[in-house]
Structure 1
Amino acid sequence: MDPAIILVFIVVLMALSFDFINGFHDTANAIATSISTKALTPRIAIILASTMNLVGALTFTGVAKTIGGQIADPFVLENGLVVVLVALISAIFWNLVTWYYGIPSSSSHALIGSLAGAVVTAAGLSGVNLAGFVNIIEALILSPFVAFAVGYVIMSVLRFFFKNANPQPTNRGFRLLQIFTAAFQAFSHGTNDAQKSMGIITFALIAGGLHTTLDIPFWVKLSCAIAMALGTSVGGWRIIKTVGGKIIKLQPMSGFASDVTSATVILTATALGQPVSTTHVISSAIMGVGSAKSFYSVKWGTAQKMVTAWLITLPITSFIAGLLYLVAAIFI
């Protein structure tokens, strides 16, 4: 069998593994608020999230095309299959490390940092599509600030309208609404995060000479959607605990506000074809909502640890992927 075919097969398996890990790593963020406020039981929340992730993953392809073609050109990149393989290994390694320690790090940053690091090591800075890469980084940086601001505004409006409301029926009503916002949240997550693996697989297919356009084959969409849904069904309890309770003490109203905020920001980015970090967006939305209640209600120590993880992910994964490529190059 052609070695390139074997390598493509390995890359596809690794990409689906990344998607599976992403499912229990990042989807934990999507359902953490509804579990924390007791709007949903953990079992029901995971079933709902798995289903809606699957639906969301099959709905859009713009982000996949961005990942597949804007960081580097798969049609001309030398050793493109090896580049993708080491990038996936690096991203998976970092996801597992941060998951083990319960840190809501970004799978998006890990994947994009790893791919960029592998490309630079393989082809130099000229191998990176600078305009496309900067465009992606801008979206990754801007989206948390947007989520914080929108969360602050939405929570401020809700507090104004419900300031004299009876707490018990108000909480009951927002818990009911959180069932729908949790579904919306999981759907938006699927529309953005699952597409990143679709883009990586398409990149590999082109580099291996098995595909000629950036259009995403249906089998790629379906397999990535299923892998993420299966990963979601496993759950990520360490990260649920961090996001659901260690940033602020969530109430049904604040949980509703953060869900609506993050889902809207993520879905808007998807519609624009921009990959964003669902982890960053969800955590920033919770911080914005908490700040609207009281600046001191936000546990800024936990937030600082998250930001630190966010900042180091790109450079660390770039370095790991570059190092892995150098090792792989010995055998090429």
Structure 2
Amino acid sequence: MELALVILVVALALGFDYTNGFHDAANAIATSVSTRALTPRAALIMAAVMNFAGALLGTEVAETIATSIVDLQDASPHSALVVVLCALVGAITWNLITWWFGLPSSSTHALIGGLVGAGLAGGLGIYGSAIVDKVVLPMIISPVVGFGLAFFVMVGLLWLIRNASPSRTTRRFRLAQTASAAAMALGHGLQDAQKTMGVIYLALLTVGWAAPGEGIPLWVKLAAAAAISAGTYSGGWRIMRTLGRKIIELDPARGFVAESVSAVVLYVNAFVLHAPVSTTHTITSAIMGVGATKRLSAVRWGVAKNIGLAWVLTIPAAALVAAVFFWMLNPLLS
């Protein structure tokens, strides 16, 4: 039974990674596509390649997911695997619901909410202080930093190019967006693919098929990288329209700044803080930040409010779905 559960967890984890790819593909390329810096197909190919590369750059975020959310040390291997299985079901369910409605919610927080909900339903301990430090605080701070930094960088850039030719400036920033979109996609792979690695690693640790001191197996890294790349290539057009056009009509300069600022925030959290932050929250807040430099009314705050509501609901909604599935599946799988 344990072997079957491990296989099922790995399959569902890679399925979650795939949904993460098409759900969050818009994070990296919506601004570049909406400003016509890249064609949709070229943007998707670039994002898929950079997601794959980013997934292989580190494991710190994956280890945070595996060791700092839910305490499985005292649980039996069977119970622990059921918890992880139901956490994935909760995360995938929320991803699909928000994708259907075109809301750019956080796959990161859906997964963390799923782990918390299933863990609590299973009577397991939760690393409360670690969740506050590694999840809650970055969830609040990263969008604020993204908005503020994007706003001030955009103000400075507008001052620098105030006398430049508009047509020449637009062409140059369209070219620059190729690099900034690639940097954003690399950061997305660095953050989001690692979360799937962390879940698979957690399942392997539970049954003793991996040792904490040996790190994440190479096959786990490659499988997670391939799954998120495949999902990214399949596209996420519903969410792309929301990020690229519904929040604000972007120009190449603002798209470049939003992507660049978001990439920096993602890299700092991955390499320095080892915190699993939301690429969705980061890029969305940066888009709002650059948009606010036109005038506050340029940002469609009604759409922003709906996105914010999805953000607030993500962790509790995914947790509730995961808990319900644990209560249903645990007796059947016992």
| Range class of TM-score, shorter chain | over 0.9
Q: Which residue of the partner structure matches residue 30 of structure 1?
A: 28
Q: How does 1:115-130 map to 2 (within 5 A)?
A: 115-124=115-124, 127-130=125-128
- Is the partner of 1:38 in helix, strand or coil? coil
TM-superposed CA distance for 1:236, in Å, is 0.4
- Is the partner of 1:123 in helix, strand or coil? coil
Shift of the 221–191 alpha-carbon distance from structure 1 to 2, 3 Å rule, reads: same
- Is the partner of 2:132 in helix, strand or coil? helix
Report the TM-score, using the length of structure 1 for normalisation: 0.97
Counterpart amino acid of 1:65?
E
Counterpart amino acid of 1:99?
W
Q: Which residue of the partner structure matches residue 281 of structure 2?
A: 280
Q: How does 1:75-94 map to 2 (within 5 A)?
A: 75-78=73-76, 79-94=79-94
Counterpart amino acid of 2:210?
H
TM-superposed CA distance for 1:275, in Å, is 0.3
- Is the partner of 2:274 in helix, strand or coil? coil
Q: Which residue of the partner structure matches residue 178 of structure 2?
A: 179
Q: Which residue of the partner structure matches residue 65 of structure 2?
A: 67
Q: Which residue of the partner structure matches residue 160 of structure 2?
A: 161
| Structure 1 contact 64–195 (Cα < 8 Å) conserved | yes
Counterpart amino acid of 1:10?
L
2:210 and 2:282 map into 1 onto residues whose CA distance is 33
| Structure 1 contact 54–229 (Cα < 8 Å) conserved | yes
Report the TM-score, using the length of structure 2 for normalisation: 0.96
Q: How many residues align?
A: 328
2:231 and 2:329 map into 1 onto residues whose CA distance is 29
TM-superposed CA distance for 1:107, in Å, is 0.5
- Is the partner of 2:249 in helix, strand or coil? coil
Q: Are 2:316 and 1:315 aligned?
A: yes
Counterpart amino acid of 1:47?
I
1:57 and 1:293 map into 2 onto residues whose CA distance is 35
Q: Which residue of the partner structure matches residue 249 of structure 1?
A: 249
1:27 and 1:76 map into 2 onto residues whose CA distance is 38
Q: How does 1:1-332 map to 2 (within 5 A)?
A: 3-78=1-76, 79-124=79-124, 127-135=125-133, 136-213=135-212, 215-271=215-271, 272-331=273-332, 332=334
TM-superposed CA distance for 1:328, in Å, is 1.6
Counterpart amino acid of 1:107?
S
Counterpart amino acid of 1:277?
S
TM-superposed CA distance for 1:80, in Å, is 0.7
Residues 164-213 of structure 1: per-residue CA shift (max 9 Å, x gap): 22110000000000011111110011000000000000111111222221
Residues 54-83 of structure 1: per-residue CA shift (max 9 Å, x gap): 000001100000000001233333411000
1:253 and 1:14 map into 2 onto residues whose CA distance is 39
1:237 and 1:330 map into 2 onto residues whose CA distance is 39
| Stretches of 4+ aligned residues off by more than 4 angstroms | none
Mark the runs of 5 or more structure 2 residues left unpaired by the alignment: none
1:264 and 1:277 map into 2 onto residues whose CA distance is 13
TM-superposed CA distance for 1:28, in Å, is 1.6
| Structure 1 contact 74–204 (Cα < 8 Å) conserved | no
2:248 and 2:177 map into 1 onto residues whose CA distance is 17
Counterpart amino acid of 2:276?
P
Residues 60-109 of structure 1: per-residue CA shift (max 9 Å, x gap): 10000000000123333341100000010111011011111111111011
Identity fraction in percent: 47
Mark the runs of 5 or more structure 1 residues left unpaired by the alignment: none
Counterpart amino acid of 1:169?
R
